[in-house]
Structure formats: C-alpha cells, structure tokens
Structure 1
Amino acid sequence: MACDFFFPQPGGVECHIYQLSTKLIDRGHKVVIITHAYQGRTGVRYLTNGLKVYHVPFFVIYRESTMPTVFSFFPIFRNIVIREQIQIVHGHASLSSFCHEAILHARTMGLRTVFTDHSLFGFADAGSILTNKLLKFILSDVDHVICVSHTCKENTVLRASLDPLMVSVIPNAVVAENFRPRAYTPRITDRLSGGSQEVQASPELLGPDDTITIVVISRLFYNKGTDLLIAAIPRILASHPNVRFIIAGSGPKAIDLEQMLERNVLQDKVEMLGPVRHEEVRDVMIRGHIYLHPSLTEAFGTVIVEAASCGLYVVCTRVGGIPEVLPQHMTTFAKPEEDDLVMATGKAIAALRSNKVRTDRFHDQVKMMYSWRDVAQRTERVYNGICGDIRPEEFYGYYPGQGLDASGDRVRSFALIDRLKRYYGCGVWAGKLFCLCVVIDFLLYIFLEMWFPRVNIDIARSWPKKVEQKSENDGLNNSSKGSRSHLAS
C-alpha cells in the first residue's frame, strides 16, 4: 500500500488503508505500507497483527502531500520492494505523490499495480485540469482501478479516459462495534413463550421541548461545506431555540466559524471541540441526535455511515456518491445551498420530535450493510484477476466472441515499447513528456540493478501469519482493538 495519507493523521483514506490492510493480513497475505514521515514517526513501525509501515523522510508541501520528485523516490522504493518481496503495489488517492510515483516505478520493475480513487474532481479549474492530466499519465499503465462509489467510477473514467471494465466499485466500510449507540442493547431471543421472537429495548423518545443536539465532525475546508455551515447555523438556531451544535475538526475555515459565533453571540449554543482522534469520534457522536454533513463534494462519506451506526439521523447534501451510501429512511437530503440545508435540517428536527424515525435500529442495519471483511474479499478478487488467477472473461465481464479476446489491451504488458505506446496517446505534448519520464525511469532502474545488485539487499523476515478469525464479530473486535492499539502507540 502506497499513499501519503496514513495514521497518525485522521481521515477516511487513512482508516481505509489501515482496515483493509489488517483484513488482508487476516486472510493470509503480507501487507506493507509506504508513507512519508510524520512528526515523531520516522523509519519502520510495526502495528497490530504484524502490519509494517515504512515512514520515508520526504519533504511535505501541502496538506500532508509530499513534493513530487518523480525519480528520487525510486532507490528507496526499489529497496523496500526487494526486501519485502512485494508482488502487487496498491496506490491510494489522486493527490498522493507517493501513490503515483510508486505505481510508475512498480510498472518499471515488472510488478502488478492497482489504484484506488477516494475523491471527486472537476474538469474546468486549473487545479483539476493538472490533476486529471497527472492521473491520466499514471493510469495509462495501471492494471486495475478501484473506486469507492459508482459516481466516483464515472468521474475517474472520464478524467483518465479509462475502459470502464477496468474499474471496479468497492465501497468503504466501518467497524460497527466501534460505533455503538449510547443506549445500545443487542437483540435477544424471547424463549419464555416458546417462540423465537427478537426483543430490543424501547427507543428514547423526545418531547416537544427537549434539546436536540446536532453534531458536525469534519475537516474545516471549503470543499467540506464549511462556508455553507457558517451561513446555516444562525438561521437554524433562530428557528429552533432548543437546538445545540457540537462541531469537531480543524482547518483554515475554523477562524471564519469562530468569527461567526462571536458576531452572532452563539458561543453558548455551539460547542467547538477542535481536532479529535478517530477513537474519540464515537464519544462525540453519541452526544447528539442529528449528524449534519454539508459537504460540497464527496466520493463516499464514511463519516455518515459511522454517524448512522451511532444512532444519529443524518442530514447531508445530495452530492457525489453520498446518495449511494445509506438508505432513505436514515437520511434527509438537501441541495448544496443555504436555504435547502436549513429546510432539510428543520425537517429532520420535526421528524425526531414526532418520533417517526426509529434511530435505535440504525446500528444493526449498518452492521449488516458494511463489513471490512467483505471489502477485503472483493479487493482480493481484484488482485487475483490482475495476476491471472481468474480468467479474463470472468474477471472483466466479457467473452472472446463479443469482440475482445483474452490477450486484449486490458492485460497490461511490461514491455517498454508497449508502455511507451500507451503513454504516447496521452496528448500532443504531454504524451512525449510522459514517454521521456518512462524512459528515464527505465534507465535509472537498469543503473540501480547494475550498481546496487539485488543480492546485496537483505530479505526481511515475514511476520507469522495470523489464523483466520472464526466469526465476523471476532474479526471486528480484533480490528477495533488493533485500531486503538495503533492510535495509542
């Protein structure tokens, strides 16, 4: 796994990589994570279950992304790959320099590659145009692509001009055991009457004058809808006097949010917690009744699944892949506009006060919908597909008689001339630049093989493989313990 974004920084991508890696280890695979050095974390770290993390000391330029150097990462990457006997390189996130460089170098070394896209990008602004061109460069020679939602798949296929059959949709998941409601009691079987009826404690009912708490946990950036939140909070509090807000998170928009509170004198109704650790998210969520998610763009939105698992009614914007995440009875959708967000929040408050929504059932429903074990199984199938363990017509979903044969372009060749043909079609000028980068990368690889031969690199010992868990609950408990142990280290 190669990505700039990993623990101790909290976030959806970081949690995805950790949980997926631990589940793949449970399934008998060896997983190594390559990321940059964080404050206090440099070198090699071992996490729960033998998960090995290489913190490479590279210069960070913006939002924990390292400065792209294209070639300087190659010697270290080659050493790690040979030491750990890596067969597949799996990169994450479009804005990760380590991800893109690792995929480029892995193809030069003759390794299979997979890319997972966690975000949505536009097509018009300068930043998106440059990012899309970079993505097209890298994905022109990748074996397979994974997206976290169908909307994300459409976005990635258009941005990188990909064959849709080379892109799979595998959503995020949550460890439901780590996000239990405050008064959660598991369903029990009523055997007194000789039947098998399930019984659960009655939900907590809200009265017309009871205080309703709205929780917001997000990075305070523009794309997360912080400006929309700043505009909506005074109007929501003016219309509903018995409502309070809890806001957790940090970012450049935190100053604007604090200025709004001072300007409207709302410090007694809005509690700002600042940044919270991932293991503290559940403790914050169970203090509320509604989770508000005003994001302007989102490929999946793991936090809304965590909120629903904690028994919160979700109010979110209808953008990106969010409508695919939860069923309608758990959410109220709004347009990414101030008026519509205020109206949707008012509907959610009214629904809770009338006790029409059974939030006490959300946890069990989310637990049945999302599982990291299922994500790991589907990702493992992608690995088997690109390595040839699954027939191409079965993996890609076509038959030779339909115009595509098993030796088609989807099975990526490692030959340099074939790679140059794929890169050359990326643009009049960009194609030539990409071909030049690939040729230099290939020559650098030959130089490293000659001057730093593989026989001089010690092979690292593998951690003893863990036996597969017997039940889903046992696996979830182990994952939650691993997450807590890692974050505390």
Structure 2
Amino acid sequence: MPYNIAMTSDFFYPQPGGVESHIYQLATKLRDRGHKVIIITHSYQTRHGVRYLTNGLKVYYVPFFVIYRESTFPTVFSFFPIFRNIIIRENIEIVHGHASMSSLCHEAILHARTMGLRTCFTDHSLFGFSDAGSILANKLLKFTLSDVDHVICVSHTCKENTVLRAALDPSMVSVIPNAVVAENFQPDPNAASKTHITIVVISRLFYNKGTDLLVAAIPRICELHPSVHFIIAGSGPKAIDLEQMLEEHMLQDRVSMVGPVRHEEVRDVMVRGHIYLHPSLTEAFGTVLVEAASCGLYVVCTRVGGIPEVLPSHMTVFARPEEDDLVNATSRAIKEIRMGRVRTDKFHEQVKSMYSWTDVAERTERVYEGICRGERVGLMERLKRYYGCGVWAGKLFVLCVVVDYLIWVLLEFLFPRSNIDIARGWPRKAVGTGERSTRRDRSRRREGVLVEEENARN
C-alpha cells in the first residue's frame, strides 16, 4: 500500500554530505515503489520556496535562520503554521525525520504527533554522554523519541548509542544501513598514476572527521614514502591547518587540496587514487568508505563507531585513532598495493552485491507498514510519556506539548483545512510486478483525484 511521506531535515542538497545523499536516494527509491515523497528543509543561499528536482522529487525550502553547520535556530513552535500548511496541502500520512542535530527534524516530529500523524526517525550520528553539548543533545533526543512510532539507525553501533541516549526499548529500533549507487562509482584503472601511489581524502574538514590526525600524519607518511602523493577534497574550518602544514613542510608539490566537490564529482576524484584514507574520530556508518571501495580503492580507516561494520576485512586496513597507528596502517596499505597483494579490481562487483538503495527502500517500507498498523495514541498518553522524561525536564516537555496542542487548535480555527488548496501530485510511477502492488492499490484518492475506471474494474 503506498504512503504519502514527508522527509524532514536541516541537511539536504545543495549541501553535500552523507545524510543529504541518504535522504535523496531513499526518497527516490520510495517514489520508484509508488509512494509519494516530499522533502522539507531550510532555504539555502540560492534555493527558496518550492523546487522540483530532475526526477520529480518535490522539495520545500523553508526560510529559517541558520546558526551552525546548516542547522536552523530552534524555535519549537514558529515552524508549526507553515509545517501544518505543507502537511495538509500534500496529504501527508507519515513524517520521517533525519539527524539528531536537525532542529527542523525534532520540531516536525513534535508537530506531526500533535496532528495525529505517524512518525519515524533515522539517526545518522554517534554522540557521547559526558560533555555539555552531548548531554543537551541527548535530552533533546529523549524528548523527541519519547513519542515516536519507530526509530531507524544506520549501524548496530549507532543503535546501541541511540538506545542508551534516549532510553529506548531496543525492539522499537531497526538497523538499516546506508547504501551506494554502484553504477555511479565505477573504477577507472587508467585514471590513477602509474609512477606513484596516490592517497585520496574526501571529507568535511572538521575536528570530528580527524583533520588534526591528518595534519600530523601527512608529513610523516610523505617522509617515509617519497613516492606517495595526496589528494584532499573538502572544506571546513580545519582547512587552514592543512594549508599551514603544507607551508611548514613544503609539501605543495605532493599534496593537492582541491576544495569542496559536488557529490557527482566524487567518483572522478576517487579514481585518481590507489588508497582512500579516512581518519575520522567518530562515525555511525561512513558511506564514503563504500563509495571508495566501489571505485577500487584500498581503504585505510580508524576503528571507531560503526566503521568496522561497513566493509569486509580484505578491503580495509584499520587503525586506532592515534597518529602513530594511522601512519603505520597507511604504510602497511602502501606496501600491500606496491606488492600487488590486494585485488582492488574485484572490489566494485563485491560492493555492488552488498549494498543497494532498493533494498534500503524495501526495508524502510516495512517499517512504515508496521507503524501504520499500530494503535494511535491520545493526548493523555502522550503527556504520560513526556512526563516520565525527568523530574524537571518531564514537566517542561509536558508544557511544550500542551502549548503545541493549543497552537494546533488555534490554527485549525483560524485557518480551516477547507481553505487550504490541495497540491496536485507528481504522477506516480507504476510499481513493478516484483513488488506486487497494483495500480488500484496506489490509492489516488489521497491526491484528491477520483479514478472512475476503478469502479468499472471492480
């Protein structure tokens, strides 16, 4: 049975990244399976209002103030009027939020539950438990997930982390990993240099991505291996540290910094290398590792978070998140490549058989089916759930929910649903026979369209 789904997050195109790619690919495959999917995110510099992507995916770029790393300023209630208008216009049944640090995601789930909609949340990150930022983020997550229908995590490590942070029942958390469009990451044996080993790094240049480790390790690797060159792609506040390191050690001729690259250009950068280096300090999954292996690169990465779950051992060399171990692991990988012990030419087909967005969409669809079969929860039951979140936090959460409910009642009175135009939907794709869903099951009445031939067929 097809559903009308709204995916909500602060993180979406044109910004590149793993969460952004995940939302786009999942939405595309769900549309291929006959579902209606829209994206709700904040406006970017050149994108405002409603846009249609090339495959017909509809995106609402809502004008909200961005405060840090593309996260909007949390207002709790000011998003409700426009969110309600979008939900009614598009006949949305399921709201699917992405990313723990997305304010729009948390607010959308709160408002959706107030409106009686089904909700789902996907966590893409790992967080600690001791520093002030993590404590606040965990309390916010507990608030949101106290009244969500189901949670999806991208790795088993991520699931354990989320269950502990939000005090969840593990049975309501599923693990559905990221995937890769293998056809977009074909290897090219002729693109890489035949005279020297090239190590590729594609990452946001932030502390949590291990940029400080990279700054410390590159001079030592270059000193140990005179024929090794680096290509570094990405942007961020740590880029200045890399540039200063190149100046200090005079490595400009061996380290090329190409700056930010669009997702469609990632493959062209990767195929120029032999090894992919990923020094991250924390990672829930690491889609870029799958993309690198698909391009035929030998992967050197830190053994943190969900990274050990991503690729089999013959494709990777693991290191502790320490300078010495990272240098040693990279040296081992360079030696393996030089001696021809690693069959990187086999990686692409192996990755293609392991990861598929179609499989991710099918598993997500089963989550939707499960939450739509569940019983609906009334306001008093919701308040009980929030009240149990803490001595002081519980009372604050209850107050937020009550105010949200009163705002909803006021909006229903001031702006009746009957006065909101229903948006015409993009034509749904016919569902393949292997998915066993007929055109009749696609239920066009959700779009406000009456299909007379259905009666004749019945």
Distance 1:213 1:469, change over 3 A: farther
Kindly indicate whether residue 116 of structure 2 is the aligned counterpart of residue 131 of structure 1: no
Q: Any conservation in 1 of the 2:283–2:306 contact (CA below 8 Å)?
A: yes
Alignment of 1:33-182 (within 5 A): 33-182=39-188
Runs of 4+ in 1 over 3 A off after TM superposition: 468-472
> How many angstroms apart in 2 are the aligned matches of 1:414 and 1:48?
38
Kindly indicate whether residue 408 of structure 2 is the aligned counterpart of residue 423 of structure 1: no
Q: For 2:61, what is the secondary structure of its paired residue?
A: strand
1:130-185 Cα distance to aligned partner (Å, 9 max, x none): 0000000000000000000000000000000000000000000000000000139x
Alignment of 1:217-256 (within 5 A): 217-256=202-241
Q: Any conservation in 2 of the 1:4–1:98 contact (CA below 8 Å)?
A: yes
Q: 2:448 maps to what in 1?
A: none
Alignment of 1:329-340 (within 5 A): 329-340=314-325
Q: For 1:6, what is the secondary structure of its paired residue?
A: coil
- What is the letter of the counterpart of residue 96 of structure 1? S
- What is the letter of the counterpart of residue 228 of structure 2? V
Q: 2:306 maps to what in 1?
A: 321
Deviates further, 224-233 or 48-57: 48-57
> How many angstroms apart in 1 are the aligned matches of 2:414 and 2:216?
61
> How many angstroms apart in 2 are the aligned matches of 1:88 and 1:8?
24
Q: Any conservation in 1 of the 2:193–2:272 contact (CA below 8 Å)?
A: no
> How many angstroms apart in 1 are the aligned matches of 2:287 and 2:187?
17
Q: 1:306 maps to what in 2?
A: 291
> How many angstroms apart in 1 are the aligned matches of 2:414 and 2:57?
31
> How many angstroms apart in 2 are the aligned matches of 1:273 and 1:50?
32
- What is the letter of the counterpart of residue 463 of structure 1? W
Alignment of 1:449-468 (within 5 A): 449-468=412-431
Offset of residue 21 of structure 1: 0.3
1:330-371 Cα distance to aligned partner (Å, 9 max, x none): 000000000000000000000011101000000000000000
Offset of residue 250 of structure 1: 0.4
Q: 2:398 maps to what in 1?
A: 435
Aligned residues: 429
Residue number among 17, 29, 35 corresponding to 1:29 in the alignment: 35
Q: 1:190 maps to what in 2?
A: none
1:403-446 Cα distance to aligned partner (Å, 9 max, x none): xxxxxxxx564311100000001000000000000000000000
> How many angstroms apart in 1 are the aligned matches of 2:218 and 2:49?
44
Q: 1:280 maps to what in 2?
A: 265
Deviates further, 82-91 or 411-420: 411-420
Q: 2:337 maps to what in 1?
A: 352
Q: For 2:36, what is the secondary structure of its paired residue?
A: coil
> How many angstroms apart in 2 are the aligned matches of 1:221 and 1:129?
21
For normalisation by structure 1, the TM-score amounts to: 0.86
Q: For 2:144, what is the secondary structure of its paired residue?
A: helix
Q: For 1:171, what is the secondary structure of its paired residue?
A: coil
1:264-292 Cα distance to aligned partner (Å, 9 max, x none): 11111100001111111000000000000
Q: 1:486 maps to what in 2?
A: none
Q: 2:439 maps to what in 1?
A: none
1:84-105 Cα distance to aligned partner (Å, 9 max, x none): 0000000000000000000000
Q: 1:294 maps to what in 2?
A: 279
Q: 2:247 maps to what in 1?
A: 262
Q: Any conservation in 2 of the 1:205–1:355 contact (CA below 8 Å)?
A: no
Offset of residue 466 of structure 1: 1.5
> How many angstroms apart in 2 are the aligned matches of 1:246 and 1:469?
42
> How many angstroms apart in 2 are the aligned matches of 1:275 and 1:470?
42
Distance 1:471 1:383, change over 3 A: closer
> How many angstroms apart in 1 are the aligned matches of 2:434 and 2:371?
29
Offset of residue 451 of structure 1: 1.0
Which blocks of at least 5 consecutive residues in structure 2 are unaligned? 1-6, 436-458
Q: Any conservation in 2 of the 1:7–1:14 contact (CA below 8 Å)?
A: yes
Q: Any conservation in 1 of the 2:189–2:271 contact (CA below 8 Å)?
A: no
Residue number among 349, 353, 376 corresponding to 2:361 in the alignment: 376
Q: Any conservation in 2 of the 1:420–1:438 contact (CA below 8 Å)?
A: yes
> How many angstroms apart in 2 are the aligned matches of 1:42 and 1:172?
28
Q: For 1:255, what is the secondary structure of its paired residue?
A: helix
Offset of residue 205 of structure 1: 11
1:63-111 Cα distance to aligned partner (Å, 9 max, x none): 1000000000000000000000000000000000000000000000000
> How many angstroms apart in 2 are the aligned matches of 1:367 and 1:415?
45
Q: 1:195 maps to what in 2?
A: none
> How many angstroms apart in 2 are the aligned matches of 1:369 and 1:423?
40
> How many angstroms apart in 2 are the aligned matches of 1:230 and 1:183?
29
- What is the letter of the counterpart of residue 4 of structure 1? D
1:173-230 Cα distance to aligned partner (Å, 9 max, x none): 000000000139xxxxxxxxxxxxxxxxxxx997xxx300000000000000000000
Q: Any conservation in 2 of the 1:49–1:466 contact (CA below 8 Å)?
A: no
Q: For 2:55, what is the secondary structure of its paired residue?
A: helix
Distance 1:205 1:108, change over 3 A: closer
Alignment of 1:397-412 (within 5 A): 411=374
CA RMSD of aligned residues (A): 1.6
Q: 1:485 maps to what in 2?
A: none
Offset of residue 47 of structure 1: 1.2
Q: Any conservation in 1 of the 2:304–2:321 contact (CA below 8 Å)?
A: yes
- What is the letter of the counterpart of residue 338 of structure 1? E
Offset of residue 40 of structure 1: 1.1
